[in-house]
Amino acid sequence: MFQDVLAKDGARVGDCLLSVMEPLGDGRIAQGMRYATAGGKRLRAFLVMGSARMFDVPSSQSVYAAAAIEAIHAYSLVHDDLPCMDDDDLRRGLPTVHVKWDDATAVLVGDALQTLAFDVLSRDVVSSDPMIRLALVSSMARAAGAQGMVLGQDMDIAAETAETPLNLDQITVLQNNKTGALIEWSATAGAVLAGQDPTPLRHYARALGLAFQIWDDILDVEGDAALTGKRVGKDADAGKATFVSLLGLDGAKTRCSDLITEAQDALAPFGARADDLCDAARFVIARNS
Ligand code: GRG
């Protein structure tokens, strides 16, 4: 069952994250880093390890790349939850980092998680080929930075005060950057680690990333805070245009199913080797958290 694979990979990545943070000691920032990287579905970690398995890359290597992307993801959540951004007090069912500690600690925890990701990704254990490590480092920098996640976040913040709500095309561009870029990095990492062409996985990841985000909008309307571990109904409260407000609930669900078919079709060249990634696509639009 896919949930078992997700749990197994997630646990390995959790252990790896703890091991790379071991030398950091037990000061406030290290504690915050461990707190922020605990839990979560570990979907991005799975995409790295699952795509690596398709190319017979050992998990002893891919687990470090998976830990790196989870560190970036955790940093983005810690900063996104800050009062100057989304101002959330609940994440993964627990108080957010700035609530448990304070704003300055949350900024520094996010900063330190981001640099930790690049530190880990540049280590020999990821690949014996320095060109592969460099490709992963530079693609992660681009996915997370001002051409990727940071751009998407900025577009999201700008949309809050824009005179006219975003249309479907604009929301799609925003989300492709905000959440799609890290998902794409994760799903293509296996091919990059193997020195293979990541193009089919890129097509898979683009469709998957969009379906993930549309489902997130659906959960914001239909979800249960006890399961999602975060506040629901936020988008409607903020009067934000979302895939649900633009397509309607049924339209959004149909779009999700179409995207999942698209994602799975992109994996056809890999046959049964891609079974786990196909299952991941189905999971994305069946999850309740
Ligand atoms: C602060 C530069 C900067 C960027 C933040 C990704 C992001 C950009 C903000 C997160 C806001 C948000 C809740 C977006 C919805 C989609 C999303 C990324 C949800 C969280 O990802 P999951 O569901 O989380 O994979 P878990 O907890 O399972 O790891």
Give 248-289 pLDDT, tens digit per residue.
Answer: 999 999 999 999 999 999 999 999 999 999 999 999 888 887
Pocket (CB within 6 angstroms of ligand 1): 40-41, 43, 73, 76-77, 79-80, 92, 149-150, 153, 178-179, 213, 216
Task: Please say whether the beta carbons of 4 and 279 come within 8 A.
Answer: no
Q: How far is the CA of 128 from the centre of ligand 1 (A)?
A: 32
From residue 83, alpha-carbon distances to 87, 192, 277, 283 in Å are 4, 37, 36, 32
Length of the chain: 289
Walking along the chain (289 residues) 10 residues at a time, the average pLDDT comes out as 94 98 98 97 97 98 98 98 96 97 98 98 98 98 98 95 91 96 98 97 96 93 77 73 92 95 95 96 86
Sequence letter at residue 41? K
pLDDT at 27: 98
Q: Whose CA is nearest to atom 4 of ligand 1?
A: 76
Q: How far is the CA of 271 from the centre of ligand 1 (A)?
A: 31
* Ligand 1 atom nearest residue 91's Cα: 27
pLDDT at 239: 74
Q: How far is the CA of 220 from the centre of ligand 1 (A)?
A: 13
pLDDT at 286: 87
pLDDT at 120: 98
Q: Whose CA is nearest to atom 7 of ligand 1?
A: 76
pLDDT at 232: 73
Angle at 149 between CA 55 and CA 269, to 5 degrees: 25
Q: How far is the CA of 76 from the centre of ligand 1 (A)?
A: 7
pLDDT at 149: 98
| Chain segment 200-217, per-residue pLDDT in tens | 999 999 999 999 999 999
pLDDT at 131: 98
Q: In sequence order, what are the residues at sequence separation of 6 or more whose Cβ sits closer than 8 angstroms to the Cβ of residue 174?
A: 152, 155, 156, 159, 166
